[in-house]
Amino acid sequence: MTTLAQARQATAPARAPMLWRLVPIAVLAILAALPWWGDNYLAGLFTQALIYAIFAMSLDLILGYTGLLSFGHAAFFGMGAYGTVVLNVQYGVPIWAAAAAGLILAGLTAALIGYFCVRISGVAFLMLTMSFAQLLNSGAVTWRSVTGGTDGLGGGARPTVFGLSLNAPMAIYMFALVAFLIAALFLRHIVRAPLGHVFVGIRENEARMQAIGYPVRRYKLAAFILGGLVAGFAGVVFAIYNGFVSTDLLDWGNSGDVILMVILGGAGTLAGPAVGAFVFLALKEFISAYTDHWQIVVGAIFILCMMIIPDGIYGTLDRHLRGDKQ
């Protein structure tokens, strides 16, 4: 079987028990019903989880489907958020125009960084992506008059959608849920299209894809840009929700967190990273209530999970229910 044929098989919808197919519908129904519960704290927590689920799925396109381990993915999330808040607060640009500009800025940043990074691979690729992200982080720290430096920048406006203000916790939650669905459908379309098959073929055997005539570097750049664009979309939603940005968004630690989310949920599945984002943030919220050293506990749980279920929570469950014993 050729590499591309293997990629088509990997990305094609496999048969699964009917009950398992209904799980995503049930989860979406539960998420949509959250506003009726009237718990503002829970709505805020779920809003953050939905935003980071978009962020994690964007990295999965690069890591899980194309096989490129980027340790600077926070650069695109941060650029989307910074572009939105800075333009709105510092220059008085209307919030929707600022959001569109933030998304474009994230895509352009991904194109520029990706142009250099896809020329190398392995550890060098990882380190170069992290270096670019840290360069942007340093720029945000030093350009204090615009970005607010380490103190951050706040005061971003929340817009209205069809006359409905997003200031209410449940309204901004529903906005984040719709944004999550848009991102999920967009990424699902990509991975099931011929472009997605090529991405998986590169992940499985880059040398063979190169040998049969595919311009591998161009496809890797396309994956990098698309992943960065969706990460920027997550950053824009974060900026609208939070109205505040800080240099932590661009820091390598944020990139590390989203890598953990992808691996914890299951790389190469799209749904897995979303699950990983919810689990990671739930663990962080619960454990940090009892200790300031929550990172140690979460790290120990992550190591234990990788020893028991190396394919991630969703990936292992999905493979088991589909009857795949490999």
Q: Tell me: the pLDDT tens digits for 36-77? A: 676 788 888 899 999 999 999 999 999 999 999 999 999 999
Residue 154: in which H helix or E strand, if any? strand 153-154
Q: How confident is the model at residue 295 (pLDDT cuts 50, 70, 90)?
A: confident
3-state secondary structure of 245: strand
Predicted local confidence at residue 16, as pLDDT: 54
Q: How confident is the model over 202-210, as a mean pLDDT? A: 91
CATH class of 3-251: mainly alpha
3-state secondary structure of 153: strand
- At residue 288, does pLDDT exceed 80? yes
Phi and psi of 222, rounded to 5°?
-60, -45
More confident residue, 319 or 141: 141
For the chain, the residue count is: 326
| Residue 286 CA, distance from chain mean position | 22
Predicted local confidence at residue 293, as pLDDT: 83
Q: How confident is the model over 271-297, as a mean pLDDT? A: 88
Dist CA 41 CA 26 (whole Å) = 22
Burial level of 161, CB count in 10 A (0-12/13-18/19+)?
A: middle
Q: How confident is the model at residue 126 (pLDDT cuts 50, 70, 90)?
A: very high
Residue 126: in which H helix or E strand, if any? helix 122-142
Q: How confident is the model at residue 292 (pLDDT cuts 50, 70, 90)?
A: confident
- At residue 133, does pLDDT exceed 90? yes
Predicted local confidence at residue 322, as pLDDT: 67
Predicted local confidence at residue 18, as pLDDT: 55
- At residue 174, does pLDDT exceed 60? yes
Distances (CA, A) of 287 to 253, 255, 279, 301: 18, 21, 12, 11
Q: Alpha-carbon dihedral of residues 55, 56, 58, 61, nearest 10 degrees?
A: 170
pTM exceeding the 0.95 threshold for the entire prediction: no
Q: Where are the domains of the chain?
A: 3-251
Predicted local confidence at residue 35, as pLDDT: 66
- At residue 305, does pLDDT exceed 90? no
- At residue 181, does pLDDT exceed 70? yes
- At residue 275, does pLDDT exceed 80? yes
Predicted local confidence at residue 114, as pLDDT: 95
The residue type of 155 is G
